[in-house]
């Protein structure tokens, strides 16, 4: 019975080169403009929820309409720069997250296909080793250790996960 291949995709060397160059260009543009927060810092600063985005938008709108109401200790020019840059970044973040998820999902299907085929190969090696096919027992024994589980019951039972 043939195995179901969930995905079949390849990249040409030119496509891989273009992908690498594109990622390098992104890194160069973002160099010295982005930060890496620690997990604690991410927790400290959190994320702005949709409701809070509305608050920021409303405040900006009122600050524009009533500049005299802006507190003197608030740097309005810095607020405007942060606001503009945040909006510029947001659409790119969404695009990159979407692309990242597509790559992860594609890799997941490729991993599944590879693992399923590797299990089929292992089972064939186990069968061929049992049939005394020359060289098959060595391959089977080498792969078999990868399937060992810590079993405290009957050591006489073959505990291959791939069965």
Q: Which residues of 23-56 are buried (b: 16+ CB within 10 A; e: fewer)?
A: eeeeeeeeeeeeeeeeeeeeeeeeeeeeeeeeee
**Domain assignments of the chain as residue spans, ordered by start:** 94-149+159-163
Residue 97 confidence (pLDDT) above 70? yes
CB 157 within 8 A of CB 151: yes
Q: What is the pLDDT of residues 29-56, one digit of tens each?
A: 999 999 999 999 999 998 888 899 999 9
Quote the pLDDT of residue 27: 96
Residue 148 confidence (pLDDT) above 60? yes
Residue 109 confidence (pLDDT) above 50? yes
Kindly report the pTM of this predicted structure. Answer: 0.76
Quote the pLDDT of residue 150: 61
Mean pLDDT of 92-106: 97
Quote the pLDDT of residue 84: 97
């Amino acid at each position: 019975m043939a195995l179901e291949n969930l995905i079949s995709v390849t990249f040409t060397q030119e496509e891989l080169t273009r992908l690498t160059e594109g990622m390098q260009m992104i890194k160069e543009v973002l160099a010295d403009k982005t930060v890496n927060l620690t997990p604690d810092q991410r927790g400290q600063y959190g994320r702005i929820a949709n409701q809070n985005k509305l608050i920021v938008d409303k405040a900006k709108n009122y600050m524009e309409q009533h500049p005299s109401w802006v507190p003197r200790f608030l740097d309005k020019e810095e607020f405007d720069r942060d606001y503009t840059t945040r909006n510029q970044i947001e659409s790119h973040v969404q695009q990159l997250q979407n692309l990242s998820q597509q790559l992860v999902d594609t890799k997941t299907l490729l991993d599944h296909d590879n693992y399923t085929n590797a299990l089929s190969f292992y089972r064939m090696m186990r069968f061929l080793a049992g049939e005394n096919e020359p060289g098959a027992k060595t391959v089977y024994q080498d792969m078999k250790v990868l399937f060992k589980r810590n079993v405290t019951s009957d050591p006489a039972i073959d505990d291959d996960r791939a069965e």
